[in-house]
């Protein structure tokens, strides 16, 4: 579509966190920047990352650097001017230190020439092709379209009458959306999602026996790879449940709210207003895409609430100004509010945010009618007894769903009165 600026990377490699990442690569390619999504984290790539680490890194860093080093060892790796895509983290996560870590590890493997690419306003969104603003818009359209397609997949697959048909329709839809993003036209993405929804609707299902719904939450990089969440979704479906994954947009809207707060604290009103406008635009895009497949969604509230709702939910349990870890309770409350009967928390080993979230679980459950909650920790050891624990969890979820239904037919609502934050003091 456009001629690539020779100063740009020859290929941008994007961590394979999930199918959403294909939206980033496709949008970059649409406007002249070659890009490729790294393979999903696997035992081989994670072993590479663990061998490259120092023993103090969280799971996310091992996933990213392991995937990049493993890809660089393949014969078709673009060694001319490669770049590893890794957005900047400004607060509440140790990821703020990963740029220097990645450079050190890459240098140890003879890859010191690999650029750590963090497109942002200060570098004119380097690596985002010839039209960065359009690329960023396309990425958002792709994020939401893929998220919605995935949501429809998980809502319909447990009830399909032809095993494998829903997954096949999902793969066709994913390819259709990626192709639409590569066209460079956002409206093509809307049409691709609508067509993919129609394709999903053709898969015969039987909902005569509704299943209890389980919300799966945790760090976003753990929720879209069956290896990392121990294939819990299919295991739960086999045991008679239905899984709803934490929506990708919720996390990004919350990040927007933090960026707005930071800008105001720095006295940069213009930057704060710019992010507020971007956030409003993103909500508009979400509503547009939801409308194209609304008839397929079972959600009472198919669009994400404003971030201030999530922040209010978090403040019941955790002070937003301390460190990461508060997002999990906010997501848990919202999922319970929307009718799930159990909460499955995927905890990556050595992630302080998820560990804090797990520690807050008893307090959260107390406010949510003692909703069943299960923490599953991924530590690359194979998930000992995960199946047995899921079986017991599903039994609790089914009982909770029956008890709540018999007590009141109304949709569950989280308590409106905020409880005091857990007091924390600096060491």
Residue 258 lies in a domain: no
Residues 117 and 30 in one domain: yes
Q: Is residue 360 located within the same domain as residue 238?
A: yes
Q: Are residues 103 and 137 in the same domain?
A: no
Q: Is the residue at 164 inside a domain? A: yes
**What CATH number is associated with residue 34?**
3.40.50
Q: 231 and 377, same structural domain?
A: yes
Tell me, yes or no, whether 244 and 321 share the same domain. yes
The conformational region for residue 267 under phi > 0 = left, psi -120 to 50 = alpha, else beta, is left
Domain boundary among 96, 129, 162: 129
Predicted local confidence at residue 1, as pLDDT: 44
Q: Tokens 């998220």 appear where?
A: 147
CA 308/CA 60 separation, integer angstroms: 27
Q: Is residue 230 part of a domain?
A: yes
Residue matched to tokens 């990425």: 139
- Same domain? For 48 and 170 the reply is no
- 325 φ, ψ to 5°? 135, -20
For residue 43, being part of any structural domain is answered with yes
Verify that 384 and 402 share a domain, yes or no: yes
Check whether residue 26 and residue 138 sit in a common domain: no
82, 106, 129: which is the final residue of a domain? 129
C-alpha–C-alpha distance, residues 177 and 70, integer Å = 28
Q: Are residues 75 and 164 in the same domain?
A: no
Q: For residues 264 and 250, what is the distance between their CA atoms, to the nearest angstrom?
A: 22
Per-residue pLDDT of the chain (427 residues; tens, 9 = 90+): 444 444 689 999 999 999 999 999 999 999 999 999 999 999 999 888 888 776 677 788 888 999 999 999 999 999 999 999 988 765 556 566 677 788 888 898 899 999 988 877 666 677 777 888 999 999 999 999 999 999 999 999 999 999 999 999 999 999 999 999 999 999 999 999 999 999 999 999 999 999 999 999 988 888 998 998 999 999 999 999 999 999 889 989 988 988 898 899 999 999 999 999 999 999 999 999 999 999 999 988 899 999 999 888 988 888 876 656 678 888 999 999 999 999 999 988 777 778 888 888 999 999 999 999 999 988 766 666 888 999 999 999 999 999 988 875 444 444 454 444 433 333 2
Distance CA 236, CA 398 (A): 12
Residue 27: which residues within 8 A CB-CB, separation 6 or more? 129, 135, 136, 138, 139, 142, 181
Structural domain count of the chain: 3
Q: What is the full DSSP assignment across 214-250?
A: EEEEE-GGGTT-TTTTTTHHHHHHHTT-EEEEPPHHH
CA 373 to chain centre: 20
Residues 6+ apart with CB under 8 A from 399: none
- The half-sphere exposure of 52 on its side-chain side, counting CA atoms within 13 A, is 29
Residue 287 lies in a domain: no
The SS3 of residue 343 is: strand
Of 181, 335, 356, 347, nearest to 250 by C-alpha is: 335
Domain-located, residue 266: no
One domain for residues 190 and 239:
no
In a domain, 289, yes or no: no
Closest C-alpha among 301, 149, 166 to residue 234? 166
Query: 414 and 322, same structural domain?
Result: yes
Last residue of a domain, one of 87, 110, 129: 129
> Is 28 a member of any domain?
yes
Write out the residue range of the structural domain in which residue 158 sits.
131-209
Assess whether 160 and 100 both reside in one domain: no
């Amino acid at each position: 579509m456009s001629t690539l600026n020779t100063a740009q990377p020859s290929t941008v490699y994007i961590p394979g966190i999930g199918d959403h990442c294909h939206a980033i690569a496709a949008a970059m390619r649409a406007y002249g920047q070659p890009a490729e999504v790294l393979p999903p984290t696997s035992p081989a790539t994670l072993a590479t990352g663990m061998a490259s680490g120092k023993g103090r890194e969280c799971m996310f860093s091992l996933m990213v650097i392991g995937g990049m080093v493993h890809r660089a060892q393949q014969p078709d790796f673009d060694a001319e001017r490669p770049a590893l895509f890794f957005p900047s983290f400004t607060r509440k996560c140790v990821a703020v230190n990963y740029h220097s870590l990645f450079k050190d590890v890459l240098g140890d493997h003879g890859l010191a020439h690999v650029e750590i690419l963090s497109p942002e306003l200060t570098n004119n969104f380097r690596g985002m092709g010839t039209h960065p603003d359009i690329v960023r818009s396309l990425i958002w359209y792709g994020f939401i379209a893929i998220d919605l397609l995935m949501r429809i997949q998980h809502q319909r697959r447990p009830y399909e009458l032809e095993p494998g048909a829903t997954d096949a329709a999902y793969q066709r839809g994913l390819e259709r959306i990626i192709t639409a993003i590569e066209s460079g036209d956002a409206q093509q993405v809307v049409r691709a999602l609508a067509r993919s929804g129609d394709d999903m609707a053709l898969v015969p299902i039987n909902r005569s026996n509704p299943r209890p719904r389980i919300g799966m939450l945790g760090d976003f990089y753990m929720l879209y790879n069956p290896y990392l969440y121990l294939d819990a979704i299919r295991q739960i479906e086999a045991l008679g449940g239905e899984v709803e994954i934490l929506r990708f947009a919720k996390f990004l809207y919350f990040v927007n709210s933090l960026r707005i707060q930071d800008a105001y604290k720095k006295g940069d009103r213009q930057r704060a207003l710019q992010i507020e406008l971007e956030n409003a635009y993103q909500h508009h895009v979400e509503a547009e895409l939801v409308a194209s497949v609304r008839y397929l969604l079972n959600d009472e509230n198919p669009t994400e609430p404003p971030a201030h709702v999530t922040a209010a939910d978090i403040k019941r349990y955790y002070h937003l100004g301390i460190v990461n870890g508060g997002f999990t309770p906010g997501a848990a409350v919202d999922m319970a509010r929307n009718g799930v009967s159990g909460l499955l928390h995927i905890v990556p080993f050595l992630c302080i945010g998820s560990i804090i979230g797990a520690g807050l679980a008893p307090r959260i459950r107390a406010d949510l009618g003692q909703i069943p909650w299960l923490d599953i920790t991924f530590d690359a050891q194979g998930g000992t007894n995960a199946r047995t624990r899921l079986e017991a969890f599903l039994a609790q979820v089914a009982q909770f769903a029956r008890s709540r239904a018999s007590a009141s037919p109304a949709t569950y609502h989280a308590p409106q009165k905020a409880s005091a934050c857990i007091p924390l003091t600096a060491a």
